[in-house]
Amino acid sequence: MAWAYAVDPLGELGANPCEDIKQLYAGSRAEIIWTDADIAYLKKTCSAEIGHAVDLAAHTGLRAGDLVRLSWSHIGEDAIVITTGKSRHRREAVIPLYAELREVLARIPRRSPVILTSTKKRPWTKDGLSSSFAEAKHEAWPDGDNLHFHDLRGTAATKFYLDGLPEREIAELMAWDEDHVSRIIRRYVSRSAAIRERIRKLDDARLKR
C-alpha cells in the first residue's frame, strides 16, 4: 500500500491518518515479515549503514527508537540489555548474544559509542534512519512494496520461535507484555511457520516416548 509506505516507513506511528481510506483489498499485516531473500535484495542497493540497521533489527527485534540509541556499553558478556522507549524505560529487553547476532555486531564498525551510525559516521536520529530507510527501500523497490522497518520485529520473533523459544521467553526477551504475547506472536509469525514448528515438537515428543 503506497500510502502506508509514505506515511510511516518505520511503522512507529500510534495511528495511521490514512486508515479510514477504503482499501482496494482485504488483508492485514498478520503474516508480513522480512524474509532472508527480502533482506538480501535490499542490501544489493542500500548503503552498508542501512544494511547494519536492518540486520540488527532482524536479529534483536528492537524498535527503531531503541536501535538508534543502542550503544556498545549495552552489550554484556552474554546479552544485550537495554531499557525500552516504548515502556518509558520501565522494562528491559534482554537479548542473548547468540552466534548470528555476534556475527552481525562484528560486522559493524566502531565509529561511536552508539552502535549504528549513518554514512556520515554519526549516530542516527530516528527521523534520519526513517528517511534514509525509505530512500533505500524505494531504490530497491521503485514500484513499491508492503514491507515496513517495524516488520523486522516479526522477523526476529519468527527466528526465536522457530528456534524453539517458548512464547513466554520471547516476551521477556523482547520486553513484551506476557498477557498479550500470544496475540503479538500470532500477528507476526506466519500460520504456516507456527504449524510446522508444532509438527516438529509433536514429532520430537513421539520419538522420545
Domain 30-207: CATH architecture, name and number where available: Orthogonal Bundle (1.10)
Q: CB–CB of 116/59 below 8 Å?
A: no
What is d(CA 185, CA 46) in angstroms, rounded to the nearest whole number?
29
Q: Cβ–Cβ contacts within 10 Å for residue 148, how many? A: 22
pLDDT, position 118: 96
Mean pLDDT, residues 16-42 taken together: 63
Average pLDDT, the chain: 82
Query: What digits encode the pLDDT tens for the residues 78-109?
Result: 999 999 887 787 788 889 999 999 999 999 99
Instruction: List 96's β-bridge partners, or say none.
Output: 79
Ordered by start, the domain boundaries in the chain are: 30-207
Q: Which three cell numbers stand for residue 95?
A: 537479548
Q: Cβ–Cβ contacts within 10 Å for residue 105, how many? A: 19
User: What single DSSP character describes residue 114?
Assistant: B
pLDDT, position 3: 41
Give yes or no for residue 10 having a pLDDT over 90.
no
Highest mean pLDDT among 62-76, 85-99, 137-151: 62-76
